[in-house]
Structure 1
Amino acid sequence: MFAALPLGQAVPLSVIGGLLFALSFPSPGWWFLAYPAVACLLLAAMGQRARRAAWLGLLAGAVFWVPAISWAGRYLGPVPWFALALLEAALFALGTVAIALAYRWVAPVVPSTAGRVWGLPAVVSALWTGREWFSGSWPYGGFAWGRVGLSQSEGPFTHLAAYVGVLGLSFVVVYCVAVVVSLGLVGGVRLPMRIAMAGLLVAAVLAVPGWPTAVHGTVRIESVQGNGPAGYFDRAQPGDVLRSQVAATDVDARGVDLVVWPEAAAEYDPRREQVIAGALDAVVQSVGAPLVAGAVTQTSTGVLHNTSFVWDADGWQASYDKKRPVPFGEYVPDRWLYSKLAPSLIGLLQRDYTPGTKPNVLPVAGIRAGVMICFDVVDDGLTADLARGGAQVILAQTNNADFDGTDENLQQLEIARMRAVETGRSLVNISTVGASQVIDPDGHTIDRVPAYTATSMVTDVPLGTSTTPATVASGDVTLVLSLGGLLVLLACAPWRRRHR
């Protein structure tokens, strides 16, 4: 039933699947293409031997990752872009091997029609989810981009993220597709019954209501997009970014409870730079509200942090140091090795940020604000920490200036949207250049400003008070699914038959 396709059919399916998967992410962000993409990739891998499955997976992964993260070569050129794309493609190939073996090993153990239609897809989906979890964790903290669940920020299953998280949503999508694929191949079932069972599955998933998100009150936030020269290669002079933020802040806005600036918008530590402190004081006094901004800070021992801090009429009040600095962007792991492999590229990164240890929830303006600095938004654990720490709203500060004119900022925005749904919290995504939006707990945009424009938005942002199942148990669900799929695969492996 699950016979391997010849290469003449499997290779085109792998290529088509990879391309459709890339198109499901911004831009163009056609989320519905994720479903035929997964179907093509499953059909290509189905029943293949490990070596052939690895090559098919590597091909599909490369076809997906190369265009999906083309922004990685915006300034640094093709070397880091292709290096990251090929690494992720290799991990994609690893997952493809596991899925191919599931169709070879698990199917004979569950000979019943029900087992092959409903049980085998669960194992396949668990292995897919496990691969996404692994690639988002390794190496150097992983790269949790390109998950199936992240492509669904505008789809009909988006609300399920509040129940099972982003990785759990990947499982649901892949499971639905895998069941439909099995229904198309299984024998002994009439066509009307196949259609009815597929429709019943989709209807059951869609019937799950949105999580009853509770909100209590609002906070009026002025989010400022300065559109200054914040890029690494913009050759800005000290103070240029700060001045652009000050100029874009509407000091005449009424009733503002809190002002939010993007990542590194204050540039340097205002406790050490009186000019910066003076500029922040002027903003706070004019608006009559505290400010949450970002800056590069340095400890007395010379340790650098990418920091978000609260500044009010009395100065520095609280801070959070980014826990997820970007490898090869904000620090160079194993610098001694990579300096030998690519000295010119590594030489561009002269400073290394150290991961912070402080909680990512800060008291400000009488509320508790969860803080995400740029790529913190892809970290599942940090997302859960926000809700568990009592955050009522999420401030996602970022600097996308190095990726202007690419899809990076749109892809990151959609990740932020999924985090809002997952946590049941409103989220303010504020960038130096765009895309800056305010998103409600259901994932809907309630305010926005044009990209690459110096401006601000004043928004009454709902404060979340409920706890979603995803923030409580999504990590455990992912662990159970990943390990469960792997254990079932190993348990069904034909070890004894090989020995004989």
Structure 2
Amino acid sequence: MGDHRLSAGWRAVLGGVLAGLAPSLGGPLLMLPALALLWSFAERTRWCAVWGLLAVLVSHAWLLSLHPLTWMGVPALLSLPVAISLWLSCGSCAGALLALWSLVLQRCRRWFPRWAPWWLALVLAVIWAWAELVLSGSPLFWIGVGGSTLPWDLPLAGLSRWFGSGGLVVVQLMWAWWICGLVEHRADNRRAANRRGLWIGFGSLLLAHGLGAVLLATTPPVTGALSMAVWQPAVPTRKKLDPEQQRQLPQAVLAALQGAEGEHVDALLAPEGLLPSRWRMPQGAPPVPLISGGFRWVQGQQRSALLLFSPGAERPDPLLDKHRLVPIGEWIPPLPGGLTAGLSAVGGLHPGEASRLFSVFDSPAAGAICYEIADGSALALATAEGAEWLLSIANLDPYPRQLQQQFLALAQLRAIESGRDLLSIANTGPTALISADGHVERLLPPMEAGLATVMVQRRETMSLYSWLVSKSR
């Protein structure tokens, strides 16, 4: 890095690829070298953009699994180009953001020449963390530095109980800056200063992991529990709207309810978007409450929602509406006339309220529908408002297991941040229970239909991160 034996261009390529692989293959073990490489050319805007472009293209390669898009109304000849364009657009956005970050660094050096190097690095790390938090609530789905920590480094992730994913971003960027400095100054004659920097860096590594481990070991006390059955139908999204599949749906729901009845659970939970609007329970359904993703109409607007079907009730009770809609798939951005025709198989959905708090069986909870799981601050706020457990429902088909792993890592981080158990139910997976200390219990294998039972612990004590989020609103 520092001796320039490897050119800035090659460092950008290597660092970007390592950063893209980190969420799936090594977490901080790959992310720290990737960020250290980035620091080595941080004032070279073009290569920062290349680093960001490659990082997202590699980490978000699952976007290519959108092809074929014919089920969404996209012509067959345009399907692959559209999928590639979406993938490249996400990478280009990341490249632009990294270029902007580099420009901010250059301006700070010019405007504040007396700033200590470590202080400048800290300011840039905080700016990066703030940007990731903003993106986590945007229409696009991002896997950033904070989300790449898990499942690889559970003790470090424990720090999120205090500082959220943004704190993990700052810590890793500062460690990477330290590594970059060690390499660049390894030939200096200031041995005492270098030795002091080495001890400070390693000391911070030990302190952060030790503190994180302590925080994980001191989870909020349990105040109660809910017994749930979870159903993973594993229905391919491209076939969900087929007439034959729709005819089979009532019997599939009935069979799942009958299976749950034998387990004596409080309710059966099903994934996002399973039931169409105006759905009615099939005749002869067992007296088991069904909590499922579906659709409902509100003043002429269709919403994706979490619905409660109580035994004997004629209509479902809406628990939560999806607030963060998927571009193209659920929500069409403003485009010139004619370009939106036939683009979406769901189409025309409208967002619900921003709050993620709901209540069921006299137990307040926080819900995330699909990639709302990326927005840790929204779930932390709901926890501060009284949520005792977290629920995530999703449909990640037709995406591969790479996305399931990234999704589960984000869910794991949300559980740790809030100090709450999180129950995840998805059409093809991941269906799992994540305890407040980050332990993951996979309930069903991915890509396979099945039914499982689980006990969700309820907790009331608020984490420091949830408190900080509540005070910032």
What range describes the TM-score normalised by the shorter chain of this pair? 0.7 to 0.9
Deviations 1:15-34 (A, max 9, x none): 111111111112x3544211
Paired residue type of 2:18? L
Instruction: Choose which of 40, 43, 47 in structure 2 pairs with 1:43.
Output: 40
Instruction: Choose which of 397, 402, 409 in structure 1 pairs with 2:393.
Output: 397
CA distance in 2, matches of 1:358, 1:54: 36
Runs of 5+ in structure 2 lacking a partner? Answer: 70-82
Partner of 1:261: 270
Paired residue type of 2:406? Q
Partner of 1:374: 370
Q: 1:225 to 1:31 in 2, by over 3 A?
A: farther
Q: 1:475 to 1:85 in 2, by over 3 A?
A: farther
Asked whether the equivalents of residues 222 and 258 of structure 1 are also in contact (C-alpha less than 8 Å), the reply is yes
Deviant stretches of 4+, over 6 Å: 5-8
SS at match of 2:260: coil
Partner of 1:227: 234
CA distance in 2, matches of 1:242, 1:402: 23
Asked whether the equivalents of residues 92 and 131 of structure 1 are also in contact (C-alpha less than 8 Å), the reply is no
Single out whichever of 381-390 and 231-240 deviates more from structure 2: 231-240
Partner of 1:408: 403
Partner of 1:485: none
CA distance in 2, matches of 1:98, 1:384: 30
Asked if 1:238 corresponds to 2:234, the answer is no
Partner of 1:471: 466
CA distance in 2, matches of 1:152, 1:146: 10
Could you tell me how far 1:396 is from its partner in structure 2?
0.2
Partner of 1:56: 47
Paired residue type of 1:91? L
Partner of 1:93: 99
CA distance in 1, matches of 2:405, 2:269: 20
CA distance in 2, matches of 1:419, 1:91: 25
Paired residue type of 1:124? L
CA distance in 2, matches of 1:230, 1:244: 16
CA distance in 1, matches of 2:139, 2:102: 18
Instruction: Choose which of 306, 309, 312 in structure 2 pairs with 1:311.
Output: 309
Asked whether the equivalents of residues 38 and 174 of structure 1 are also in contact (C-alpha less than 8 Å), the reply is yes
Asked whether the equivalents of residues 54 and 91 of structure 2 are also in contact (C-alpha less than 8 Å), the reply is no
Deviations 1:461-494 (A, max 9, x none): 21121111111214878x9xxxxxxxxxxxxxxx
Asked whether the equivalents of residues 260 and 268 of structure 2 are also in contact (C-alpha less than 8 Å), the reply is no
Asked whether the equivalents of residues 225 and 245 of structure 1 are also in contact (C-alpha less than 8 Å), the reply is no
CA distance in 1, matches of 2:131, 2:419: 26
SS at match of 1:98: helix
Partner of 2:166: 167
Asked whether the equivalents of residues 24 and 30 of structure 1 are also in contact (C-alpha less than 8 Å), the reply is yes
Asked whether the equivalents of residues 248 and 454 of structure 1 are also in contact (C-alpha less than 8 Å), the reply is no
Asked if 1:449 corresponds to 2:444, the answer is yes
SS at match of 1:336: coil
CA distance in 1, matches of 2:239, 2:327: 15
Q: How many residues align?
A: 444
Q: 1:189 to 1:328 in 2, by over 3 A?
A: farther
Could you tell me how far 1:59 is from its partner in structure 2?
0.9
Could you tell me how far 1:460 is from its partner in structure 2?
1.4
CA distance in 2, matches of 1:449, 1:55: 45
Q: 1:396 to 1:445 in 2, by over 3 A?
A: same
CA distance in 2, matches of 1:134, 1:427: 23
> What percentage of residue pairs aligned between the two structures are identical?
21
Partner of 1:152: 149
Partner of 1:206: 209
Single out whichever of 172-181 and 16-25 deviates more from structure 2: 172-181
SS at match of 1:326: coil
Q: 1:222 to 1:100 in 2, by over 3 A?
A: farther
Instruction: Choose which of 345, 358, 362 in structure 2 pairs with 1:362.
Output: 358
SS at match of 2:447: coil
Could you tell me how far 1:73 is from its partner in structure 2?
2.5
Single out whichever of 67-76 and 57-66 deviates more from structure 2: 67-76
Partner of 2:419: 424
SS at match of 1:171: helix
Partner of 1:490: none
Asked if 1:434 corresponds to 2:439, the answer is no
Could you tell me how far 1:331 is from its partner in structure 2?
0.4
Asked whether the equivalents of residues 305 and 318 of structure 2 are also in contact (C-alpha less than 8 Å), the reply is no
Partner of 1:491: none
Could you tell me how far 1:103 is from its partner in structure 2?
5.5
SS at match of 1:401: coil
CA distance in 2, matches of 1:396, 1:277: 23
CA distance in 2, matches of 1:462, 1:445: 14
- Pairwise CA RMSD of aligned residues? 2.8
Could you tell me how far 1:165 is from its partner in structure 2?
0.8
Asked if 1:216 corresponds to 2:231, the answer is no
Q: 1:18 to 1:161 in 2, by over 3 A?
A: same
SS at match of 2:143: coil
TM-score, normalised to structure 1's length?
A: 0.81
Could you tell me how far 1:91 is from its partner in structure 2?
1.8
Asked if 1:278 corresponds to 2:282, the answer is yes
SS at match of 1:277: coil
Asked whether the equivalents of residues 59 and 89 of structure 1 are also in contact (C-alpha less than 8 Å), the reply is yes
Runs of 5+ in structure 1 lacking a partner? Answer: 271-275, 480-500
CA distance in 1, matches of 2:135, 2:223: 37
CA distance in 1, matches of 2:250, 2:36: 49
Deviations 1:295-315 (A, max 9, x none): 11123x420100101121242
Q: 1:34 to 1:335 in 2, by over 3 A?
A: same
